Chains A and B, each alone.
Chain A
Amino acid sequence: MVLVKQRKLSLGERFYFKTVLVGLAYTIKNMFKKKVTRMYPEQKLDPKPSFHGVPVLVQDKDGNAKCVACGLCEFVCPPIAISITATETDRRIERTPKVFEIDMLRCIECGYCEEVCPEEAIVMSQEYELTGDSRADFRWGLDKLLVPESKLKPRLDYIRKMYHRFRADPKKEATAASVTTPTKTSIGVPGIKPHAALRRYGDNY
């Protein structure tokens, strides 16, 4: 057992007057400060390009998806929210998704799909406040996922800048080949070809 001896209060402390005044002064001081509340439904958040909203598919000028249905995002998705069924097409890319579904109630907005995509076909949008009363509403198909490229321009510029350091620069490679100074330090296992998903990082992976 621990005995705590209580300090004897002075007369002023027992009247409790000073403490009340200090509290009131603090309240009045804060009344004139700038208000911090953001009035949500009227004042919405202004998302920056670095914001991770739900992933959407990029639609090119002809109205087609840029996606080539390689399945890398489906493979890398941690909560397995993406499901793709591929089909053939007469366009130059030859392969396109017939069904592309993202379960928005599974998606955790990690951005791995965007990072792994070799075609810049899936990017994080700035949509972040989805609510609904049925789980079926959250299964987005191609009709909801396709967003024109012009609307996604800030994010596309951002990811080009962000992931640039991982990309192989063709100009640099050309000069490096002509000078023939192989100063590359490979982190990967020598003699083993890197996985297709990693080849986009260049030889420096």
Chain B
Amino acid sequence: MAFEGGEDGFAVTGPLDQLLAWARKNSLWPMPLGLSCCAIEMMSTIGPRFDISRFGAEVARFSPRQSDVMIVAGTLTWKMASVARRIYDQMPNPKYVISMGVCASSGGLYRNYAVVPGVDRLIPVDVYTMGCPPRPDTLLNALLTLQKKIDKGNTHASGNPRPAVVGLGG
């Protein structure tokens, strides 16, 4: 991808998929699926102190049809699982998933029949995040990681993810 032009202005030229990736990664609208205490840290990330809008991801509305990245923040119970899956299915392609916190990533503290041992049982996860709950910095780091992945084109949405390891710590 290159910036071409002179005094009159410039044009961005390059392969279409690179241009699309560049556009997509800088306007990741999140679908906040706040399920428990991680959601508080997610709200703090959107607030002025950490200001997620610096990365073009401030449009956090509960509207799956207008969003690109689903942030699963909190403990996902089996009762909520079908809802989470339906919200994911309602999102338009290309769609990405950030699993925020240990509960969403692996079940965390909750090793029981009521809690899903990781959202990757239901939906493909692009970025996992540690912490209980993660600091806003960690969520921003996850967003930056996702931007890098979109740039390289190895997300689940682009059909070229890193090989997933299934069945760990379930």
Interface SS of B by simple majority: loop
A158 close to B (CB within 8 Å): no
Interface residues of B in 115-144 (CB under 8 A from A): 118, 120, 126-132, 134-138, 140-142, 144
The CA-CA distance from A54 to B110 in the complex, in Å, is 19
Interface SS of A by simple majority: loop
A108 close to B (CB within 8 Å): yes
The CA-CA distance from A114 to B156 in the complex, in Å, is 38
Interface residues on B, range: 35 or more
The CA-CA distance from A36 to B44 in the complex, in Å, is 13
> By the criterion CB–CB under 8 Å, are B137 and A45 in contact?
yes
Residue of A37, A79, A128, A134 touching B164 (CB-CB under 8 A): A134
> By the criterion CB–CB under 8 Å, are A131 and B145 in contact?
yes
Size of interface on A: residues with Cβ below 8 Å to B: 31
Given A37-B49, A80-B111 in contact, is the A135-B165 Cβ separation under 8 Å? yes
B86 close to A (CB within 8 Å): no
The CA-CA distance from A132 to B161 in the complex, in Å, is 12
User: In the assembled complex, which residues on chain B have CB atoms less than 8 Å from the CB atom of A105?
Assistant: 102, 105-106, 108, 118, 128, 130, 169
> By the criterion CB–CB under 8 Å, are A131 and B142 in contact?
yes
> By the criterion CB–CB under 8 Å, are B165 and A136 in contact?
yes
Q: Which of B107, B131, B137 has the most CB of A within 10 A?
A: B131
B168 close to A (CB within 8 Å): yes
